Amino acid sequence: MSLWPVYTGGNEPHDGIDDLPAPPPWRAFDGGPVLDTPAEEDDTSATSADRRHRARTYQATDDAVQLVNSALYLRRPLLVTGPPGSGKSSLAYAVARELRLGPVLRWNVTSRTTLHDGLYQYDPLSRLYAAGRAAAQSAPADGGLQDHLRLGPLGTALLPYARPRALLIDEIDKSDLDLPNDLLNVLEEGQFEIPELVRTARHAPTAEVMVDGTDERVAVARGRVRCRAFPFVVLTSNGEREFPPAFLRRCVRLELHQPRDSLLENIVRAHLGEPDAYARELIDRFTERGRSGELATDQLLNAIYLTGAAGIEASSRDALAEKVMPFLSGNQDEPDAF
């Protein structure tokens, strides 16, 4: 019986990840002790609600389904390239929801981001202040450096979870030139060391450290974190730079384009329900204008929602739609579509 695909793009959560075949021999990991996958986040913040909505409504292309499964089977990162608004980051949330991988760990990259930022953060000054306060009050010393150390999104994803965690490394092309190369060894080996814990391993072989996104603590033995199920890593890029060949050959690569035709209509239907006649007209106009300049799908969704929710006269809807669907980059000639 075929196990392909594990990720179907059907938006219905299931436990198919448990049927994932064993990894290739060169991508097998043995970290432990095994950790349970965290439950899906249940907070009611606007950010979490937005991410859950995007995960439920994501419309995966056939290429996306094939290459997501390739990354899962091969235990390789998925490098997703495409213009703004093409659904690069939403893909990570959709896969995590369907395969029940728990909350997505998100690492937003800037030009100042370093590998250390993604692995863990340690604040020696806060530890020093805590020790000073304890001494002044004749109180017991603090719990040691583990109380001032927290794993970052990448470090948390590499913990020995039974199921792969989903990690979104967003806009990797904005990073310093060295970051992709710095990632190579960690993603290849599926492990890293925390030097501060390694140095104290002789008298404190196990440390309880905090993880990204919560105050939960996990045990780290002798300062080494090693995965068991390689995480589902999505690296997004707007295509603004080239990456080193050594980095590219270790990734499964997916290129997304702005959706068109039936896929675009399906996206509108998933977000806003069955499109009416005017919404279909806007979809056609959006598709036509997209041939002359860069547009993002969320601009179309904004235009359809706004022109319907505002209850304005039909004669004014075109002007409003045009204002919320400007081209994303300059120097394009605006067509006379509206």
pLDDT at residue 128 tops 80: no
Residues 32, 148, single domain; the answer is yes
| The predicted structure's pLDDT at residue 336 | 44
| Position with higher pLDDT, 28 vs 289 | 28
Mean pLDDT, the chain, integer: 88
Which band of pLDDT confidence, cut at 50, 70 and 90, is reported for residue 330? Answer: low
- Find the distance separating the first CA and the last CA of the chain, reported in whole Å: 53
Supply the CATH number for residue 163's domain: 3.40.50.300
Is 333 within a domain? no
- pLDDT (mean) for 254-261: 90
Is 88 within a domain? yes
* Angstrom distance (rounded) from CA 297 to CA 259: 8
Is 331 within a domain? no
Among the three residues 237, 255, 273, which one is the final residue of a domain in this structure? 255
Residues 190, 292, single domain; the answer is no
* Angstrom distance (rounded) from CA 278 to CA 231: 43
| The predicted structure's pLDDT at residue 335 | 46
What secondary structure does DSSP assign to 80-124, as a single string?
EE--TTSSHHHHHHHHHHHTT--SPEEEE--TT--HHHHHEEE-H
CB atoms within 10 A of CB 214: 12
Is 76 within a domain? yes
- pLDDT (mean) for 321-332: 77
Is 274 within a domain? yes
Q: What is the pLDDT of residues 30-42, one digit of tens each?
A: 999 999 989 876 6
* Angstrom distance (rounded) from CA 237 to CA 21: 29
Is 134 within a domain? yes
Contacts for 46 with CB less than 8 Å, ≥ 6 apart: none
Contacts for 290 with CB less than 8 Å, ≥ 6 apart: 258, 260
Which band of pLDDT confidence, cut at 50, 70 and 90, is reported for residue 265? Answer: very high
Which band of pLDDT confidence, cut at 50, 70 and 90, is reported for residue 139? Answer: very low
Given a contact cutoff of 8 angstroms between Cβ atoms, the answer to whether 102 and 165 are in contact is yes
Residues 247, 276, single domain; the answer is no
Is 112 within a domain? yes
Given a contact cutoff of 8 angstroms between Cβ atoms, the answer to whether 176 and 243 are in contact is no
pLDDT at residue 140 tops 50: no
pTM (2 d.p.): 0.88
**The total number of structural domains that make up the chain:** 2
* Angstrom distance (rounded) from CA 88 to CA 98: 16
Residues 280, 166, single domain; the answer is no
Range of the domain at 219: 16-255
Contacts for 44 with CB less than 8 Å, ≥ 6 apart: none
Identify the three-state secondary structure at position 224: strand
| Position with higher pLDDT, 211 vs 124 | 211
Q: What is the pLDDT of residues 212-253, one digit of tens each?
A: 988 889 999 999 999 999 999 999 999 888 999 999 999 999
Among the three residues 240, 255, 270, which one is the final residue of a domain in this structure? 255
* φ, ψ dihedrals at 221, nearest 5°: -90, 125
Which band of pLDDT confidence, cut at 50, 70 and 90, is reported for residue 109? Answer: very high
Strands 232-237 and 166-170: parallel
